Structure 1
């Protein structure tokens, strides 16, 4: 579903965020689920279409709030994190 070198990933609050270019085309479909993190910003949820599928199984922050990247130590706009039920392998 996504593949990237570890140095390309961003770790935020226990979740690995993958660069948008590492997510396979067609693996995700936009979800209408709303959520706003108080410090990261408005989230875009994604339904995972691969395998058995998983509604809202991934999320990203297309336009993080000002200062969010400073708090993380790195830019993460558009990076995609996956639900804990999705296996992340090294």
Structure 2
């Protein structure tokens, strides 16, 4: 199980993330939304597209722009559409579970 932790609290949890450029991207439904607020910040990645940001707040401690996602990624990055990656004080812990194979289904 993979977990994103900020200020001692799990803010996202999922069995599998999508790993791109050394970052674990968490599926949108894995976020505990009460800890996230939209940010006006945007940035541009030459191959992924325009990133949007969330600020993360837990127990009165806020990390501005600590999470980012691509709502409209380029075709090359479509597999991470709306998935969220973290930095700026958020730690990632855990082990990604393997995808089920045809034999294990």
- Same fold per TM (> 0.5)? yes
Deviations 1:28-61 (A, max 9, x none): 1111112111100110111002241100000000
Per the alignment, residue 54 of structure 1 pairs with: 63
Per the alignment, residue 35 of structure 1 pairs with: 43
Per the alignment, residue 4 of structure 1 pairs with: 14
After superposing on structure 2, the runs of 4+ consecutive aligned residues of structure 1 that deviate more than 3 Å are: none
Greater relative CO, 1 or 2 (CA 8 Å, sep 6+): 2
Displacement of 1:68 after TM fit? 2.2
| Greater strand share, structure number | 2
Unaligned runs of 5+ in 2: 1-10, 95-105
Displacement of 1:19 after TM fit? 0.3
Kindly tell me the number of residue pairs found equivalent between the two proteins. Answer: 83
Displacement of 1:26 after TM fit? 1.6
- Secondary structure of the 2:92 match is coil
Displacement of 1:84 after TM fit? 5.1
